[in-house]
Amino acid sequence: MSVRVRYAPSPTGSPHVGNIRDALFKHLFAKRYGGVNILRIEDTDRTRYVPGCEEEIVESLNWMGIEFQEGFTQGGDHGPYRQSERKEQGIYQDLVQKLLDSGHAYWAFDTSEELEEMREFQKINKQAIGYYGGMWRDASPNQVEEAKRAGKPGVIRLAIPRDKTIVLEDVIRGRLEFDSNTVDDPVLIKADGMPTYHFAAMVDDHLMGITHIMRGEEWISSAPKHAWLFDAYGWDRPIFVHCPVIKGKDGSKLSKRHGDTRCLDYRSAGYLPAALANFIALIGWSPGGDRELMSMDEMAEAFSLEGLQPSPGVFDLDKLKWMNANHIRGLSSADLVAAVRGVAEDPEAEAYYRKAHEEKEDPADKAIYLGLATLRTALGEQTELAEKMIALEQERVTTLADFGAAGAFFFTDEPEIDGTALAKWKGQAHIPALFDAAIQYSGSDYETFVKEYAAANGFEKLVPLQVPLRLGLTGKTSGPGLFDLMAALGPERIRVRLERAKGIFA
């Protein structure tokens, strides 16, 4: 199968989950069939242009591991890849003139007041809202020239044929039919001379040899306009693929309340790009069977358009956390340390959790951003201990940012002791002798030490020994395996902490 697809964002805001899934699907599709994925910038609406947005788009795509073979960042044979630059080269001017000459497009000089009156009339009379020709669709050449001489601002519109059924095949939804009398005439060239999406995107798709137009299902209502534009030129239509929308678990449109939607916020929050890609790809696509945890290469190998679903995909934050935790478990020691270091040294991660705490006053978020600062220092000054902590917490954390809060006790000899647990164990007679024995133990096999101590002192179970030791060393009642933990801390840290704890538990 020949595959040429394009990801064509507008530089009007930060890339969010929906944008990134669009780019990801195209990356997987092109990789699956050895095709070409193109990165194009659709920047014809200069009033909404956001400086710095292009850079964030590229940064997001690079972080996610989404690849392109052509585009505005690497060039190619079909450039330029910014529509504003293509407009300056006159690409659209010559092509829109062909439509005017063939009668498939026309000039319209309606004022904003006239357009508003038209819409109000349509509302009052319960008619379809849209521009269906007005006086200008059938205006004579003399009327058009007179309007131009008078200096009236005009637009060029596509003349949708009337009394016709426009039919197109969509890969996901099959045959789609549209009554052309309900399809309004879209603007192709705005009054300022800039092309609209309806025109520039389809023209560029043809000139760049795009084989599949993959986009969100919100564009289905525009599909007959785009299909007819290809027909008006006598061009072969690309294959249309309208992907399902993403909704929250409550069935509503995805928004901030369902979790972060900006792509790079997930980096700050401590998610692995591989896990995020895995999660997003499965929102609306099924690889078949019960496969869930997959690498990028595995997803590309399995990807097919037939696996795309017509029903909306659901954004489930709990599912993302589960996937991220599993991807963390699968990292090698070196890759895990590098990933944790990247988050700990990223000022955006600390700022992300500080902001989250300030907005929600959640102590868990505060613990994370304070923990990240501690971890950043530890990675520089206590590297060996920090790496041991990361290895011990690998099976317990959900995100990379969790390592800071989860392992903060490793780097202080005065960890805060859980008050509820302390109240239960404080004053128990066997604890001072237990702590003294642990302080005096100079070996490294702490499991054998605790078991032999239990046998020698008549303890049938290890809990009365393990819990006080854990509390004295970490301040917590849960965490990594106690014996692995003690081995990581080593005799000197154990001595210092238990000497302090003796006074607290007395």
Cite the active site residues: 256
Structure token digits, residue 100: 């005017």
**Does residue 34 sit in helix, strand or coil?**
coil
CA distance 390 to 406: 9
- Residue 369: its H or E element: helix 363-381
Indicate the residue type of 503. Answer: G
If phi > 0 it is left, if psi is from -120 to 50 it is alpha, else beta; for residue 193 that is left
- The Cα 241–Cα 175 span in angstroms is 12
The C-alpha atoms of residue 206 and residue 200 are separated, in whole angstroms, by: 10
Fill in the DSSP letter of residue 218. G
* DSSP conformation class of 188: E
Residue at 377: amino acid letter = T
| Sign of the four-CA dihedral 452, 456, 459, 464 | negative
Q: Which of 188, 186, 187, 185 is nearest to 96 (CA)?
A: 188
239: β partners: 212
